Amino acid sequence: MKKRLVLLTPGPTPVPPEALELMSQPIFHHRTPQYQAIFGRVSQELKKIFVTKNNVYTLTSSGTGAMEASVVNFLSPGDKVIVAHAGKFGERWVQLAKQYGMTVLEIKAEYGRAVAAETIAETLKKNHDIKAVYTTLCETSTGVCYDIQLIAQATASSDAILIVDAISGLGADRMPQDEWGVDVVVSGSQKALMLPPGLAFLSVSDKAKKKMAEAKCPRYYYDLRLYEKALTSSDTPFTPALTLVLALEATLKILLTNGLEAHLNDTAQLAEATRAGVKALGLSFFAKERPSNGLTSIEVPAGVDGSKLVKIMRDEKGVTMAGGQGSMKGQIFRMAHMGFIGQEDLRIGFSVLTETLNALGYRCDAQKVLDAFNDVAGSKKVKQ
């Protein structure tokens, strides 16, 4: 019998059958009215996910490419920027900004904590020459969600633009771009958008577009002015990963079935149910504040080998969770509950997790854990 495989990693996440089916259809050409009609619809629907009136650009790239686009399109070498970070992906903003010659003011918090919006506001008040603030919605490496609304209030009253890595956050943690005043939102296909990796997305406010016109960093493949221009005829400047775009139409339909808010609420409930399960396990959360609704980061209990835990679940029991990255390696593991991940996936996840923890010497009661999960998840029939 073929082993059931359950994917609970915070990207890639499971891809719905409708999307897989579309990717297995014979390919056709992208410079055709047929493709442009689809891409035009997809580009409109994406605005509902970003909650914006801005155009959303679709890049054929990993999310990191779109992060790079968010540096080179808005800055000139030597510009002063704030990077507010507390995790591996926030650190990537620092590397990128330095690589392109920026002066970087780092506002750090410990792994497991959120960055302090107040410190960002104070720093902006003291430094009138800051061009941009780079931060993260959901820091995937720690499972912490930052207070983007508060940070956006600080940037709104300054000349700086706010650029948010929402690669794993978009469609899982609430962040209405226009309402909150976020200038640039970056996302990727393989998280809450339920697709394989290969596409990245960017939405740019009018305030940021002005910076785009002045920016002197060299750019070509990621020159967003080319994407803006191409979008007027539902096109991209370079050959798109078109099979992923076709599949995106299907996943957006699923995600928006009852509107974005309903999907975010479902995801939030699944996150709460997961946290209830983790508590019943007697384990500690790695996120000390504002846990993301996209994933839960959990401390490996004392005496258990964290790398072994993840490996046994994946290789022997068919359940893939993510381990820790960098200095968190072996110390934490992460369960995702975003996108197409449903209750049943998480029940199997918890069942395999308790089984494996017991085998590794940490005593826990599978039924108690599932009951705790079901108590929260079962109160409403979400994402079955």
Binding site for a copy of itself (CB under 8 A): 5, 7, 9, 11-12, 14-15, 20-21, 23-30, 32-33, 60-65, 67-68, 95-96, 99-101, 188, 190, 196-198, 217-221, 238-244, 314-315, 320, 322
Nearer to a copy of itself, 120 or 241 (CB): 241
Nearer to a copy of itself, 197 or 330 (CB): 197
Contacts of 26 (CB under 8 A, 6+ apart): none
CB 147 within 8 Å of CB 176 = no
Shortest CB 320 distance to a copy of itself, Å:
5
Q: What does the block give as tokens for 22? A: 């579309």
Residue 49, classed as helix, strand or coil, is: helix
Nearer to a copy of itself, 99 or 157 (CB): 99
Shortest CB 38 distance to a copy of itself, Å:
14
Shortest CB 162 distance to a copy of itself, Å:
21
Greatest extent of the chain over all pairs of C-alpha atoms, in Å: 64
User: Distance of CA 76 to CAs 80, 126, 157, Å?
Assistant: 9, 21, 22
Shortest CB 21 distance to a copy of itself, Å:
6
Nearer to a copy of itself, 328 or 372 (CB): 328
Known binding residue 314? Answer is: no
User: Distance of CA 302 to CAs 324, 329, 330, 363, Å?
Assistant: 15, 14, 11, 12
Eight-class DSSP state of 192: T
Shortest CB 99 distance to a copy of itself, Å:
5
Nearer to a copy of itself, 79 or 147 (CB): 79
CB 144 within 8 Å of CB 290 = yes
CB 255 within 8 Å of CB 133 = no
DSSP state letters, 318-364: SEE-EE--GGGTTTEEEEE--TT--HHHHHHHHHHHHHHHHHTT---
Shortest CB 92 distance to a copy of itself, Å:
9
Nearer to a copy of itself, 120 or 224 (CB): 224
Task: Show binding-site residues.
Answer: 334
Task: Show binding-site residues for substrate.
Answer: 334
